[in-house]
Each structure stands twice: as C-alpha cells, then as structure tokens.
C-alpha cells in the first residue's frame, strides 16, 4: 500500500485534479497507480468531479475542460508539463527567437503540479501577442537547481534566450547570492511571485507579485464580519508566501482590535510524515480554555495552503467539530479548496494574470532596454466565500 492510498476522499480528489493540471489529461489506470487505489475508486472520483464541472470524462480517463487547457502547442512527450509546454514553435526556436521573428524567453518555475500551472497558462496565452515564445523549465525550491536551469537557458547551446521569467528562492544567504547572480545576467530578468533587492543600494529586480498581505487581510475581515474575534493562523514552514500572509494577518487583527493571544503556527507540508502531529497540535491550540469559549484558542483559522486546510478540516470533523459552526476555516491559494466537504472559503491569487503580466513586462524590457524604469507590479487577490466560513442562518 502506498502513502497516497491513505488519503481521505477529498484529498484524493484534490490529487486527481493536480495530476490533470500537470498533464492536461490522464488515464484511469495511471491515476490509480499514482494514488495507490483501485481503478474503481478513481472512476468514482472522476464521476463526482465531472458532475461538479471540474473535469471532463473521456474514454479510459479524464481531461480538464477545454477552457482551462489553454493548449497552444505540444510539450515534450512524457514530461509533467504536457499541456503546459513552450508554446507554438518553441521546439524550433534558435537563439534570439530566430525562425519566426519572435523573441525567445525562458520560464523557470519551482513546481509543475501546484499553483504554477495557472501562472504558466497565463504566460503562454499572452506570449504570442507580446511577440515572444516561451521555453519552460520545471525546477525546484533549491537555489542551486534554479541557477542551473537559468544558466542552461541563457548560455546553453541552441538556447540563448532573450530574457528570463523565474520564481527563485530569495531567503537566506543562498537566496541573496542567487538574486545577485540574476542581476548580473546579460539578459533581462523578471521575478514571478518573488521580490529581491541587490547591491549596496538595495536596487530592486523587476517583479510581478500577489499582495499576499492584502489577501490575508481580506480573510481576517471576512471572518470578523462573521462574528469571530479569535482568528488564528496556520502557515507552511519555509513557504515564500508565509511572510506576506502573516504580515497581513497581524496587521488586520491589530487594526480591527481582535484578540491577539491566538494560535500562530508554522507547520510542515501536508505530505510529510510530521503533518499528522502538526494537525493535532493545531486543533489542541484551538480548544477553549477552562473559562469556556473565548478564553483561549480560536474559533476561526486562516490556513496556508489548500491541502493543509482540507486535511485540517477533515481532522477537526473527526474530533466532532462542526465546520463552520465550531471552527471556521479560510484557505490560502484556492487551488483545490472548492473540492472539500464543506467547500472551503479561500483567498485566490491572480495566478494567470501573474504569468501574463510577467510576459508583458519582460517583452517591454527586451524591447526598450536598460533605460526603461524598473517595474514592480503588485496584484490584488480575491476572496471566494464558501460554506466553511459562513454560519448557516435559519
């Protein structure tokens, strides 16, 4: 039995959607093998997701709806990025986009199966109108691997891209060193969902980011409007998003005069073995003190990210807590939050727009050169209200 076979139903369906987002389509047998379940279980999940409009069933498997695929060209066969590839003509792109008169840009993202597929689709949809084609590279959250991928795009034989879109790690000494290296490249660079400054004068690199602090504030204000005064926070340890989410949560709690002695916990990723222990720690911290509700703990949580929020809600229900009556939950990312039971309210970053805007910035930078002022674009996320945070009115 694999680790995936222990997933709860909504977690399993979330994984199914992630597989489809990464690959565009998938066969039942492949999904069953990946998740460690029977084909019958996969077919049942696919049927439910199809009824909810999340995917389309096809003979032997499923695919994303045509409006979500945004498929403008073939990817390399067998890669996780199938359906998210380089776009029209990318395979025959020479240095500088020679061949069709298009510029060639490299795009390096840390993941191809969560969050980033929508960013990639936004970039690919915008690329033809911006006069560029994209070479996509899947990387990791390690600075050394990101540098290797960027170096291959900039200086590799047959590559020689005209610019780079990248989401590098920016924390710590390795992140600082990587940002400095990126700033010295001979081609322009635009950061996606990352910020960085370099040099003695802390000059900014060009970037397009979501205002995660604003997003967290939206979540807190929504929960406060629902009557909650004790709103805790759960963030994923080492995630580059966590800092902005925590900042927005703290500032809004203080601005609204809400209780501040509430859980503020950093956890491992939900796929790690230590997650089960972290869930127990979170739920224990939410319990009211001996003086009754309101004396300690929390009645609502903002949780980054979706898989952690879904798992937390399910474990809370196993303890007998009602969602949202006993514990309201808002997730951050809105990748799979709608698939939970009950569906989870979420903050939705403008992922597609991040990709589109990054392409436009880079194309203009390539065209106008160093005289163009550095642009730092901050985009607002949205609050998507669902059943997990709204107490039913009778």
Lookup result for tokens 């400095």: 180
Name the region of 87 (left: φ>0; alpha: ψ -120 to 50; beta: rest). Answer: left
Compare 235 and 63 and report the one with higher pLDDT: 235
**Residue 39's pLDDT is what?**
86
Overall size of the chain counted in residues: 394
Q: What's the rounded mean pLDDT across residues 84-94? A: 42
65-79, 91-105, 128-142, 234-248: which has the minimum mean pLDDT? 65-79
Whether the Cβ atoms of residue 237 and residue 267 lie closer than 8 Å to each other = yes
Give strand ranges (E) for the chain.
25-27, 56-58, 61-63, 103-109, 132-138, 163-166, 189-192, 197-198, 203-204, 206-210, 231-236, 264-267, 300-304, 328-332, 345-348, 376-379, 382-384
Indicate where the chain has its CATH 1.10.10.10 domain(s). Answer: 3-66
Lookup result for tokens 């986009």: 97
Whether the Cβ atoms of residue 344 and residue 333 lie closer than 8 Å to each other = no
Compare 308 and 38 and report the one with higher pLDDT: 308
* Beta-carbon count within 10 A of 371 CB: 5
Q: Provide the β-strand partners of residue 56.
A: 63
CATH 3.80.30.20 fits 3-66, yes or no: no
Q: How far apart are CA 54 and CA 65, in angstroms?
A: 7
Compare 215 and 287 and report the one with higher pLDDT: 215
Distance set, CA 380 to CA 152, 210, 278, 303, 322 (Å): 33, 6, 30, 18, 31
Q: What is the mean pLDDT of the chain?
A: 86
- Identify the CATH number of the domain defined by range 212-349: 3.40.50.2300
Q: Using omega within 30 degrees of 0 as the cis cutoff, is the peptide bond preceding 305 cis? A: yes
Q: pTM here? A: 0.77
Indicate where the chain has its CATH 3.40.50.2300 domain(s). Answer: 72-204, 212-349
Q: Provide the β-strand partners of residue 104.
A: 133
Per-residue pLDDT at 58 exceeds 90 = no
Looking only at the bridges linking them, the beta strands covering 56-58 and 61-63 are: antiparallel
- Identify the CATH number of the domain defined by range 72-204: 3.40.50.2300
């Amino acid at each position: 039995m694999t680790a995936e076979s222990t997933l709860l139903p909504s977690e399993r369906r979330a994984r199914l959607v992630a597989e489809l987002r990464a690959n565009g389509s998938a066969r039942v047998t492949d999904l069953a093998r990946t998740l460690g379940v029977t084909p019958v279980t996969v077919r049942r999940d696919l049927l439910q997701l199809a009824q909810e409009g999340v995917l389309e069933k096809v003979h032997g498997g499923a695919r994303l709806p045509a409006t979500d695929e945004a498929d403008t060209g073939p990817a390399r066969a067998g890669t996780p990025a199938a359906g998210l590839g380089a776009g029209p003509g990318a395979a025959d792109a020479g240095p500088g986009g020679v061949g069709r008169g298009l510029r060639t840009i490299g795009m390096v993202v840390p993941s191809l199966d969560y969050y980033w597929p929508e960013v990639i689709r936004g970039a690919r949809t915008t690329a033809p109108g911006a006069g560029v084609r994209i070479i996509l590279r899947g990387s990791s959250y390690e600075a050394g691997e990101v540098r290797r991928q960027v170096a291959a795009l900039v200086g590799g034989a047959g590559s020689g891209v005209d610019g780079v879109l990248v989401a590098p790690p920016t924390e710590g000494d390795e992140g600082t060193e990587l940002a400095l290296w990126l700033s010295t490249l001979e081609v322009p660079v635009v950061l996606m969902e990352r910020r960085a400054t370099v040099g003695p004068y802390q000059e900014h690199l060009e970037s397009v980011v979501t205002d995660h602090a604003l997003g967290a504030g939206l979540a807190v204000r929504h929960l406060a409007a629902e009557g909650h005064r004790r709103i805790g926070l759960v963030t994923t340890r080492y995630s580059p998003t966590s800092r902005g989410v925590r900042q927005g949560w703290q500032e809004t709690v203080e601005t609204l005069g809400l209780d501040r002695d509430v859980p503020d916990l950093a956890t491992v990723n939900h796929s790690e073995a230590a997650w089960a222990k972290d869930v127990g720690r979170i739920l224990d911290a939410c319990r009211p003190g001996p003086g009754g509700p309101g004396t300690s703990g929390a009645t609502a949580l903002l949780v980054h990210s979706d898989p952690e929020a879904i798992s937390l809600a399910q474990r809370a229900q196993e303890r007998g807590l009602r969602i949202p009556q006993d514990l309201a939950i808002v997730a951050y990312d809105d990748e799979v939050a709608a698939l939970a039971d009950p569906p989870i309210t979420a903050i939705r970053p403008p992922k597609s727009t991040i990709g589109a805007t990054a392409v436009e910035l880079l194309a203009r930078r390539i065209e106008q050169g160093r005289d163009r002022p550095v642009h730092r674009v901050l985009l607002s996320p949205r609050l998507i209200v669902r059943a997990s945070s709204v107490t039913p009115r009778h």
